[in-house]
Amino acid sequence: MKNFFYLLAVLFTSLIVSCSDDDPIPAPVVVTPEVVIPDTGAPTITLVGSSTINIEEGDSYTDAGASASDEVDGDISSSITTSGSVDASTPGTYTLTYSVSDAAGNSVELTRTIIVAVATKITALAATGRVSEQTPEQARSTINGKWNFPESSAKSSYSSKLNTCEFDFIEFTDTTYFLAIDLEGEFIAVSGPYELNEDSEGNVSSVDLYYYTGEIDVVIATLTDINVIEINDEIEASFTVNLTIPDTADFDSCNELSGTYSDVGKEEPMQQSYAVANTSTSSDSTSDTGSDTFVSYIDPIIHVTLINNTWSLQTVTEDGVTVTVAEALEDFCYDEECPDDGVGDCIEFTIEGCSPPTFAGVQFSAYGSYNLVFSGGTFPTEVEVGTWVWIDEPGPPRFYRIDGEYEDDYEIMTILELSDSKLTLEGGDGDILYFNAL
């Protein structure tokens, strides 16, 4: 037993020796936790291209987009979302907004402004070609304009035989035609939409002219074999016309004018139209007339806005009183009866069963003509035609409105307001006409 306690004593002593200053106890290990710095910085967005883009009505627009980066996440361009849209066919100011967020939820946005201006473009002034070899879009440019029938055309044989009807001119806009006829010394103008008929290859085989009889729209003429050429810097057309004017129209005797016409000359465009065409980016719209040096006080956008719209009359203010277009057209249903002997006053009366036109609109041509159209009600479409000329001088935009039958009958019209949707005109008598664009 003694030996056992002795061994314990020796063992205890050796443990004390092993824990001496020569072999200290290791210090405890202290682990410092990693410090995570919060991501509070927002990403950055950079537009590809300009922050403001200017285009013209009818141009195509493809957005270039944007790129984005973040100090922590790197390139995050794929996370960009874009809101807003651009209608390049409608003038106005549009905004696109680009937004992006990083993984920590920090977000940022940036905008781009796209301004769609009223197009300073006009339909080609000097387009040529054979319509039967053209698409509808090409054909509209080819026939667009005012075409004057010469005295030496095929109409002469008919007029000498009948001595009743002569074609004066035919004018095409992008959607509408105007046909002027001299019937026994009376100037008659008719108007309506036209239709381009296509063949199996998508080219234009014929052009139908529609006319409202007061009840229905009917085709009164079909044009075929239309060919437009340029000779000695002048544009001429040839075509065949088949007239099918209904006997309910008061000019149906002019059906005898059906035939083939040649040397039908194109009216010279207005100087301002030349100026716009020569600065336009549209193709095939210039004419080598030397008019590119023409300087005008008339702003090109004013000119193009006026001629590229059909203006629908809304209200009229006369002597301070404003009336609707329906009230302004009520006199269509008034007539008067006067004594045969000329003695006594005429008696005004309302036509029984009459309803006045429901629409009054005006178009101004790049070729210097205007066409005032009345339609609807119980009347066939009625057209008044004339010419217009800019008063090209400083000040508010003004023009002369000249009656088609009487060159000495003119009125000065002042444009009080003009935009892509509204037109306000003041006549020489102080009347104010308010129009909306169709």
Cβ atoms of residues 377 and 358 within 8 Å: yes
Tokens linked to 100: 């992006």
Q: Does the pLDDT value for residue 173 go beyond 60? A: yes
- Residue ranges of E strands in 246-368: 259-266, 310-318, 321-324, 334-337, 347-350, 359-364
Q: What's domain 274-437's architecture?
A: Beta Barrel (2.40)
Alpha carbon distance, N-terminus to C-terminus of the chain: 126
Band of residue 401 on the pLDDT scale cut at 50, 70, 90: very high
Q: Which of 407, 401, 390 is nearest to 433 (CA)?
A: 401
User: pLDDT higher for 408 or 273?
Assistant: 273
Q: Which of 56-60, 64-68, 220-224, 394-398 has the lowest mean pLDDT?
A: 56-60
pLDDT band at 407 (very low <50, low <70, confident <90, very high): low
pLDDT bucket at 27, cuts 50 / 70 / 90: low
Write down the pLDDT at residue 208.
98
Per residue in 298-317, pLDDT (tens digit) is 999 899 999 999 999 999 99
- Pairing outcome for strands 107-117 and 310-318: unpaired
Instruction: Fill in the amino acid letter for 75.
Output: D
Q: Tell me the pLDDT band of 99, cut-offs 50, 70 and 90.
A: very high
Mean pLDDT along residues 169-192: 92
Query: Which residue has 């002369």 as its token pair?
Result: 400
What pLDDT was estimated at residue 378?
A: 82
Q: Please provide the average confidence, as pLDDT, over all residues in the chain.
A: 85
> How far, in Å, CA of 73 to CA of 148, rounded?
71
Q: Residues of CATH 2.60.40.10 domain(s) within the chain?
A: 44-117
Structure confidence at residue 164 as a pLDDT band (50, 70, 90): confident
Mean pLDDT, range 345-361, rounded to an integer: 84
Confidence of residue 375 (pLDDT cuts 50, 70, 90): confident
402 sits in which H/E element: strand 398-403
**pLDDT of amino acid 350:** 79
Report the Cα 228 to chain-centroid distance in Å: 26
b/e burial code for range 241-267 (CB count within 10 A of at least 16 → b): bebebeeebebeebbebbeebeebbbb
pLDDT of residue 237: 97
Q: At what angle do helices 271-279 and 300-307 cross, to 10 degrees?
A: 110
Among residues 404, 408, 410, the alpha carbon closest in space to that of 186 is found at 404
**Tens digits of residue pLDDT in 32-48:** 666 667 777 889 999 99
Residue 405 reports pLDDT greater than 70: no
**Which of 180 and 161 is assigned the larger pLDDT?**
180
User: Among residues 199, 265, 260, which one has the least CA distance to residue 230?
Assistant: 265
Q: Is 227 a residue whose pLDDT tops 60? A: yes
Task: Enumerate the CATH 2.40.128.280 domain ranges in the chain, comma separated.
Answer: 274-437
Neighbours of 318 (CB within 10 A): 14
pLDDT value of residue 199: 96
**Nearby residues of 222 by Cβ (< 8 Å), 6 or more positions away:** 206, 207, 208, 209, 241, 242, 244
Looking up tokens 């063992």, which residue turns up?
Answer: 11
pLDDT band at 153 (very low <50, low <70, confident <90, very high): very low
- The CA distance from 391 to 287, in Å, is 23
Predicted local distance difference test score (pLDDT) of residue 41 = 83
For residue 113 the two structure tokens come to 């402004």
The confidence score (pLDDT) of residue 267 equals 94
Q: 274-294 pLDDT, tens per residue?
A: 888 876 544 343 344 444 467
CA dist 88 and 72 (Å) reads 39
Query: What CATH superfamily classification does 44-117 receive?
Result: Immunoglobulins (2.60.40.10)
Place of tokens 């790197």: 74
